[in-house]
Amino acid sequence: MAAAIAALISIAGAKSKPLPDAADVKKAEYIYLEAANARAEGRADDYLMLLRRAAALNPSDPYIAGALAEVNLALGGDSAAIEKAYGQLKARFEAMPTEPAYYSAVANVAQQLDRTDDLIDMWSKLDTLLPDQNDPAAYLASALITRFMKAKDSADYRRACAIYDRLENASGPTLPIIGLKVKAFSIAKDTAAIISAVTRLAQAAPADVSSNIYIGSAYDFLGMPDSVLHYFDRALAVDSTAGEVYLARAAFFREQGDSLAYDREVFRALNSPSLEFMQKLGLLTDYAVKLYTDSVQRPRIEHMFQTMQEQNPGEPELHALYGAYKAETGDMEAAAEQFSYSLDLDPEQHDVWANLLQVYGSENKVEPILPAARRALAVYPGDYYFTFMGASALASDSLYAEACALLDSVKPEEAPSREALSTLYSTKADFLYAMGLRDSAVTQYERAIELNAQNYLALNNCAYFLALDTLDLVKAELYATLATVGEPENPTYLDTYAWVLFMKKDYPKAREIMDRALVLLGIIEAPEGEPAKKDEEQRSSDIYDHAGDIYFMTGDHRKALEFWKEALKLDPADARIKKKVDHKAIFFD
């Protein structure tokens, strides 16, 4: 008895949330209406603020709580917040279950949370409340199939099939319903049921193009090629201009490995007036990507591009695709022309600008790079790649100050990566050194190296210039060592390392390193047991000149003279090298 009395006292003393009074309820309703107005006017911040005020005044209103839950879910949060919002959406649905906006919101979140049981409960309720509507029943059957796939409970499968039968009996064997049934039957691997369903559709809609395409695709899934073509042909008999049929036939023949038939159907599809441009562009893209490496197919691809351009003049995407195709096949001049056409039609295509500049760069066409880069920067100011390409073009004309100024327009925080920013600094350093600003150049190299210790080009160049000017031979040796460790088979880096050692008067070590570079370049024979190499493209006057100096200081004067003569062949205007050849001796400035 005492325990019971104590329990009653505890219950009586427990705190409970007070119900809002009538004034707060009314005020909350008013604020909720104001929130709806704010949302309609696009005032998102006001909408959220007003919803929160309304919910604080009347937290028991399911409609206010549901609206706030939708916003909170969009803003994100932890699992507890998501669960709370989901519960509020379900409460609003229970308050008015037949409101499409309310049950759609619950369904979307339940789908994201993988709450299949909740979906089945909700759609079952709606199927009962809305027996004349097909959507709840179809969604219920779909949810049952989903649970069948997870749990393999045949009761779910039978229940779903019964719903589909009910829908088919009510409206006949339409394409949407048969499509749902075939999907379910394919999951259960019931081939007989699939054939039965598509046969009923074929009988019900013999003159419907979409239905015939679908039936043909179903037989393709079943591996029955004769039936596939029968229904595709039946679709064409209904409408010989239907591009969707040619698309389906092209895909079928590609699967079958029949390249001639595939080509034929692609061409027919591209000529079809019923297909949208983007459908045709997708088909042409697929065709060109798959077959561009086959030189035999290129005339057909060219013809398809020409046909598409005649049918669809003024389409920037088409010119961009044609340009990409031309670039892939090595016709850079035509590629640049097509990219330019595309950009004239629509200059806001970042990738196309990048492709155009890349094509110019690959062809070493410096002259058009700068105007193209400037046009690109007018659309995308401060873009790293366009700035870099423009600066490189300026530097190629020895306009180093202008090139540095252009590089400075890139904000460090807007560079795509630390590595990219490092490259920018080391490039600027190259320009500064060319201007004779050696201290500033070294500062930029060191900034580049600090950002990316694997910027071996910056390490190499800084080491070389430090050695040339004998500014800091200890640091030069460190940087040169790091560069050659990073790329041990780069003859240019080995040459720099050898030259640093030469400047330090470590002639035997310098010759050892230089010989590694000369072997890589195929200038001297590789040691026994090592593969012979011959990288003639990287041979330069500097490497021969350095090799001559190093060999001379190690006592091999005959070989030194041979190297200097080779250097003079590559740079006959160099008076310093000519002096060494004429006097058969090294000279120090």
- Distance from C-alpha of 557 to C-alpha of 581, rounded to nearest angstrom: 11
Judged against a pLDDT cut of 80, whether residue 3 lies above it is answered with: no
**Residue 473 near residue 506 (C-beta atoms within 8 A):** no
> Which long-range contacts (C-beta less than 8 Å, at least 24 apart) are formed by 177-186?
177/138, 178/214, 179/214, 180/138, 180/141, 180/142, 182/218, 183/145, 184/141, 184/145, 184/157, 184/160, 186/221
Selected residue with higher pLDDT from 110 and 294: 110
pLDDT at 271: 84
Average the pLDDT over 32-40 and give the result: 93
544, exposed or middle or buried, with CB in 10 Å at 0-12, 13-18, 19+?
buried
**Residue 560 near residue 552 (C-beta atoms within 8 A):** yes
Lowest mean pLDDT among 226-240, 273-287, 346-360: 273-287
**Residue 159 near residue 127 (C-beta atoms within 8 A):** no
Average the pLDDT over 373-393 and give the result: 93
pLDDT at 364: 76
pLDDT at 451: 95
pLDDT band at residue 9 under the 50/70/90 scheme: very low
Tokens describing residue 527? 């040691």
Give the rounded percent of residues in the chain with a pLDDT score beyond 70: 95
Give the CA radius of gyration of the chain: 38
Judged against a pLDDT cut of 50, whether residue 582 lies above it is answered with: yes
* Largest CA-CA distance found in the chain, in angstroms, rounded: 125
pLDDT at 532: 59
pLDDT per position as a tens digit, 46-92: 999 999 999 999 999 999 999 999 999 998 888 999 999 999 999 99
Judged against a pLDDT cut of 60, whether residue 10 lies above it is answered with: no
Q: Where are the alpha helices (DSSP H) in 175-224?
A: 175-187, 191-204, 209-221
pLDDT per position as a tens digit, 506-560: 999 999 999 999 999 888 887 776 665 666 677 889 999 999 999 999 999 999 9
- Distance from C-alpha of 132 to C-alpha of 170, rounded to nearest angstrom: 10
pLDDT per position as a tens digit, 133-174: 999 999 999 999 999 999 999 999 999 999 999 999 999 999
Average the pLDDT over 280-303 and give the result: 81
Contacts of residue 93, Cβ cutoff 8 Å, sequence gap at least 6: 66, 99, 102, 103, 105, 106, 122
3-state secondary structure 431-485: HHHHCCCHHHHHHHHHHHHHHCCCCHHHHHHHHHHHHHCCCCHHHHHHHHHHHHH
Average the pLDDT over 245-255 and give the result: 92
Name residue, tokens 């009510």. 170
Kindly report the CA angle at 545 between 543 and 551, in degrees rounded to 5? 100
